[in-house]
A and B are shown apart, each in its own frame.
Chain A
Amino acid sequence: MIWIAIRMLTGDPQKFFGLVFGIAFSTLLITQQLTIFVNLLERGASGVYNVSSADVWVMDPVSRTTDVAYAMPSTALDKVRGVPGVEWAVPHIRAQASVRTKDGDLEGVAVIGVDDATLIGLPKNMVEGSIDVLSQPDSVIIDDVGTTRMFPGQSPIGERLELNDQRAVIRGIADAVPSFTSTVVLYTKYSQALNYVPGTRNRLSFVLVGAENPAEAKALSEKIEEETGLKAQTREEFARDGVQFIIDNTGIPLNFGITVALGFIVGVAIVGLTFSLFIRDNIKQFGALKAIGVTNGKIRRMVAAQAGLVGLIGYGLGVLGTVGFIQAFSSNPTFKGFYIPWQIPLISAAAVTIILALTGWLALRSVLKTEPASVFR
């Protein structure tokens, strides 16, 4: 009977494709929007992800994220270095600045100063050039997203910038995870960054710490807090706080939530309506089957099989559409590094299951209520 159910459904191409479209559209909307949402949220932690070697981040107690940080006195570095269990500790500065390009454009940038000696604080990989270029005078490394924004279609290498009224020369391109706002990032040495970024007596944003035993980073962060009075967080904790900051301070959870809810509602509407029309068109056949001797249980399984087929194909197409979308826009800086977390297809699958269960149940009610005797009327 399952085969008959499937043929009944596929034999009506308009409704079959309508149902598949409804599920595919819902899946696409839910999966794609949740994917963008999660990836955008994770960008709240991009500053942390870009410095993969630091086990612990130390900061002023009021600092919250890599971008919302209160400067500390430079003596903080020595305090941290004195804590047992710290293998190394380096200074890290993050500040906002303005650059004027040779075309006269003004662009807000983030300047990140990394340790002069070790260059810890730079992203792990370079798109062009080497990290050693920072040893040259006035050198900065631009991130790849900044390249696309400030120098679309051309190489920025050798370009001179007026960075807060000072000369800076781009000598490399870093492969970095963009920030939530996709701000252009310029990396330079810590000593150079102090020149570029005007400020008060305290300039040190963070102290990056490598633990003697990285597995005990949490214990080390607690020890640093205890001994220095500063705030210390493991890499994971600080990344999580960056994400939480986006959730707490932007409207994106609500906006994306609305879109996902709309995807669900549209799915229910399209699939529910089409399923009901399909059942209504076939009610005589279902009535005949019931008269012949097909039990309600078998009818339920038939409708479940129809819903299952529509769900499988529609869901598959929706997820494929999302993968295609991510692939198609992967070169766009806005979507750089986007991926589909495994939980999202599961959430979409659950949503599709609910849509089909709900609409299938509604459609099934009319079949189950149909009296077999109605076929004689």
Chain B
Amino acid sequence: MGKKMDTSAIGGCNPEAAICTRAVTRDFQAGQQTITVLHGIDLDVKAGELTFLVGESGSGKTTLISIMCGILWPTQGEVKVFGTDIYDLSDDELVEFRLNNIGFIFQQYNLIPSIDAASNAAVPLIAQGMERHEAREKAVAMLEKLNIGDQADKLPNQLSGGQQQRVAIARALVHEPRLVVCDEPTAALDAASGRRVMDLLREVAVAEDRACIIVTHDNRIFDMADRILVLEDGKVTHDGDHMPEDH
């Protein structure tokens, strides 16, 4: 973070877009060599849709999602999230923006093992400065919505993988963010559980004023997407409502 990007290649953004990227490029240094992972990505992600970002390992999807949610600076290009040019913000403003506008569901959940499910789910609210008991009440309500309200007092290691995932989803949604980002939400689940999680996400995360992007390479759930973006070698090679036949 903190590296100032070159914005010379910025094009226009659709004001309706929840997320807009223009000419986003990202380079990494590997010794003397510069590796370009993303090659001028132009994307508009709409609210109210379940958008899948699909690609093989090394295709650049993790890098792209990191840039789209403001945790990795692009080398070049523009990223707007609900109209805010997030990389024009200062470091502190960007952190604040993430806290108030983005919910994260990590592949490994990254729950804090020593606090119970409700407290884990309440973390974003506590980080926003809400009083702990009030934050916990809201978190319990969210857990109830996800049908694990009765597990609110349990520690993560007392929950099954699926239950931990729901706690992670509750944590991502409890502060009502406008953008929800999920990283491989079904990677560790069997097919049936994976589909249940996706149903749940569609039910609670997709809203008219909220964008939901899912990074996945799990072909068992491709049919549940409203939109699929396929990334290959740092370029978007497909943009549609279903996977192309050759994948």
Contacts and interface: CB of A to CB of B under 8 A. Distances in A.
Interface in A1-58: 1, 3-4, 7-8, 10-12
Nearest to A11: B114
A291 B127 CA distance: 12
A288 B115 contact: no
A373 B71 contact: yes
A288 B119 contact: no
A293 B127 contact: yes
A201 interface: no
Interface in A334-377: 371-373, 375-377
Contacts of A298: 127
A284 B108 contact: yes
Contacts of B104: 288, 291-292, 375
B132 interface: yes
B110 A376 contact: no
B7 interface: no
A294 B110 CA distance: 14
A7 B115 CA distance: 6
B71 A8 contact: no
Given A284-B108, A293-B100, A4 B123 contact: yes
B124 to A, nearest CB: 6
- Report which residue of A8, A288, A291, A293 has the largest number of chain B beta carbons within 10 angstroms of its beta carbon: A293
A209 B97 CA distance: 80
Contacts of B97: 293
B77 to A, nearest CB: 16
B95 A293 contact: yes
A371 B114 contact: no
Contact of A11 (B69, B72, B107, B113): B113
A371 B1 CA distance: 8
A284 B114 contact: no
A291 B62 contact: no
A342 B100 CA distance: 50
A371 B106 CA distance: 15
Interface in B9-66: 62, 65-66
A317 interface: no
> Which of A11, A289, A292, A373 counts the most chain B CB atoms within 10 A?
A292
A294 B127 contact: yes
B190 interface: no
A291 B72 CA distance: 10
Given A4-B119, A12-B114, A293-B98, A373 B72 contact: yes
B110 A284 contact: yes
A288 B132 CA distance: 19
B71 A372 contact: yes
A130 interface: no
A191 interface: no
Interface in B165-180: 171
B112 A293 contact: no
A295 interface: yes
B95 A295 contact: yes
B176 to A, nearest CB: 14
A292 B114 contact: no
B96 interface: yes
Contacts of A290: 71, 95
A3 B97 CA distance: 23
A285 interface: yes
B119 to A, nearest CB: 7
Interface string A264-284: 000000000000000000101
A293 B106 contact: no
B92 interface: yes
Contacts of A375: 104, 106, 110, 183
Given A284-B110, A290-B71, A291-B69, 15 more contacts: A3-B126, A4-B112, A4-B119, A7-B119, A11-B112, A11-B113, A11-B115, A285-B112, A290-B95, A291-B71, A291-B106, A292-B99, A292-B123, A293-B100, A376-B215
30 contacts: A1-B126, A1-B127, A4-B112, A7-B112, A8-B114, A8-B115, A11-B112, A11-B114, A285-B110, A285-B113, A287-B110, A288-B106, A289-B123, A291-B98, A291-B106, A292-B123, A293-B100, A293-B127, A294-B95, A295-B96, A372-B1, A372-B71, A372-B72, A373-B66, A373-B72, A375-B106, A375-B110, A376-B71, A376-B106, A377-B62
